[in-house]
Amino acid sequence: MKLHFLILGSALLCCQSSVWAAEITVSAAASLSNAFKDIAGQYQKRYPDTVIRLNTAGSGTLLQQAIRGAPVDVLAFADDETMDKAQAAGIVDKAARKIFARNTLVLVVPVKSRLNIRSINDLPSPDVRRIALSNPASVPAGRYGKAALERSGQWQKVLPKIIQTQHVRQSLDYVARGEVDAGFVYRTDAALMPGKVKIAATVQTDKTVSYPAAVVKDSRQATEARRFTDYLASVEAQNILRKYGFGKP
């Protein structure tokens, strides 16, 4: 009888362990919110014993959360620079990172805007009073936008007009509500609100807008985390990313 209970107890512990092993937290850049929600759903259908917890925010915010010990298994950023910082901090291994998608930075305006904005060179115009730009110190979209403005010689001219946002989706919301005259977002973000925003110009970036993902070194579910990052390269996941306008890696 005692042996029977020991075997039963061991079985229950194994079952409990397997349940915990199937749950991972994925911290993803805000611009990936919609696509990763669908990807997580498809992944859980393929692996029904798995639970994906999504945590979305600006890439810099996600990096700081991971550095401070937040329980994260996978990091997916909107630029290589942030992943380089994660690697330098010893959070991820170089061999554990891979680029799974690309994007394009655009300048958007409210769909009913009457301003003649066709490029970032039009932003210094006195008719343009407010411009949404994510914090360049922590958000890749903001960093790309600032660099483009600096290259064109417009940064100092438009600096007083900049309304700094926490992430690219906040910039999109500001433009959609007409609270700013223009904003820097990704093409995939603009596509989410075709009835509220329109693309005024494509912004040339000094680097390709790439999205890397990596398994966190301290992940307690490393095997599951690796399976998820590998899944991002699958035809199924890539089709979802294409649906939302992301480019091939």
Binding site listing for molybdate? 31, 59, 141, 168, 186
Distance separating alpha carbons of residues 38 and 46, to the nearest angstrom: 13
Buried b (16+ CB within 10 A) or exposed e, 44-78: eeeeeebebeebbbbbbbbbebbeeeebbbbbbbb
Binding residues: 31, 59, 141, 168, 186
The first and second tokens of residue 84, run together, are: 């380089």
Work out the number of other CB atoms within 10 angstroms of the CB of residue 144.
Answer: 28
Work out the number of other CB atoms within 10 angstroms of the CB of residue 186.
Answer: 29
DSSP string, 70-101: ---SEEE-SSHHHHHHHHHTTSEEEEEEEEEE
Among 128, 239, 241, 229, smallest CA distance to 182 is for: 128
Strands 182-186 and 131-134: parallel
